[in-house]
Structure 1
Amino acid sequence: MDHLLGNAEKPIPEAQSEIPEDEDEEGLKAHIAKVGGGEELVARSIKCSECGKVFRSEASASFHAEKSGHQQFEESTEEIKPLTEEEKKAKLTELREKLAIKRAAQEKEDQKSNKANEALRRKAGQDVNRIREDLELKEAQKLAAQKKREKVEEAKARAAIKAQIELDKKAREEKAAREKALREGNAPKEAEPVVAVKPSAAIKSSDNPETRLQVRLSVGGPPLTKTFPSDNTLIDVAEWVASENLAYNVDTVTLATTFPRKTYSREEMKKTLKENGLTPSAVLLAT
């Protein structure tokens, strides 16, 4: 304090420069370079703030961002030196090795995929062949069943024609015999019924409660025999014939007596066996 009060009237000396005036130009340049003055900083590369890699161009930095997912980049004054011939060769060799490894992995993956696709193709081909074989087998079975039905129908038709021929032949023979007997003055002999049932002594034949019928089939085969109540109709007999032989239909079957020759109409089919005079027994032809 005493020093300040004693020197208060004296002038304040000028501040001296940090750099002495007697330094030469070389020293000044060195000092400026040391404190960082004089030159502007220039960005010479792009640096990834996340991994520290340096890139020459924005295209390289963008490619790195797409590959790595890094998003933080900054400009850098670090200059990337060009590669020497040895470094270029080493880099090219490294890239070729990576590419070869990548191609080998891709070929392995392609082989695996092709093998799986081939297995699927073979399985699909086997399934198609199996389906085709099943269809061919079903078609063959269907054709065989159809041929069998045709043979059965053809046999039935031949049997029906043969039976009709026999009936016509028998009718012609009987007619010729009757005409011959009339010419010679002799009465024709009546044919005996194929099936005869002796009536009970206490009951008249027409009042018998049961009627025994033998039905011959025009389609061939053994005759059908059954005893019906006398009050049953011929429609009941037709239903029974249709149930015994699938070649007949109850709506189209026709019943007739062989001797004397008589074909029953649909109205007569509704009458009872007694009303049609078939009691106690009779022989019918089903066509």
Structure 2
Amino acid sequence: MPSDRDTLLSFGFDPARIDWALKATAGRGLQPAMDHILENEGKPIPETVTSTGEDAKGNNDEDEDMKLALSMSQEGQEAKSIKCTECGKVFRNTAMAEFHAEKSGHDQFEESTDEIKPLTEEEKKQKLAELRQKMAEKRAKKNEAEAEERKANEALRRKAGKDAGQIRQELQLKEANKEAEQRKKEKLDDAKARAAVKAQIEADKKARAEKAAKEKALREGQALPVASTSTASSQPAAAPGAKKEYPETRLQLRLSTGGAPLTVTLRSEQTLQDVAEYVASQSLSFDVETVNFATTFPRKVYTRADWSKTLKELGLTPSAVLMVS
């Protein structure tokens, strides 16, 4: 591959100015050297560069001229150039011929008496323009390749960001479902706890009432009252024409979600609200605030106004079947 000096020589620049440019640009490359030559075209060449450059040039040119002269001395002619016998191109020196051989693959050369004329100013400008165009095209291709690479990297980055966003959304959804299930479980536990507390309060009230009744009967010398847990056969017969009282109500609750019905025995003084809390405590499918009750015979749908009424007031004693939805 030819050096920057050989390339600039092929453009027809003055060798001394080429040496000045290469020295001034510290060998940074072809483009800085060429810019230096153009910028300092009308300026005199420093003596230090002239002496060094001319000595080097003189030695190089002298060696090449000697080679040509020796090779052609037998014919009595002076060699002025090197010619490629495969394509007919003529080169100023061996360096340019070697560059041509490396680039084209040609290996047949001969010495020639053809003299290569120096480039005119117009030819110099044309070659410079061609060189600059090639360099501009090379930079454009490089910029295009870098733009494509940036585009590909951006696409990969966006895809990675999208995948991460999707995973994050899925995790958030799972976390939300988990929290919802936990809230529902806590609500169910609260309903069960409230029902248990209510049942205990009612049991305590009943026990206190029975105890008070016994103490009163003992003080007054009366017969002890029959406990509420006794059977119907041990209770005194109701007076003729009096409506029979049922202290307890047995309910069969048929769920709209299917499965075996729930069976529970409650005090007749308990309300439909208590029944709703019991259903919510036994099944996750129902909520105290939204559950509905109805009977099939006689057909009746209970409203929220009925929830504060007792089972006795609603006519559900001593037993009833409720449809739960």
- TM-score w.r.t. the length of structure 1 is 0.48
Pair member with larger Rg: 1
- TM-score w.r.t. the length of structure 2 is 0.44
Q: Between Structure 1 and Structure 2, which shows a larger proportion of helix residues? A: 2
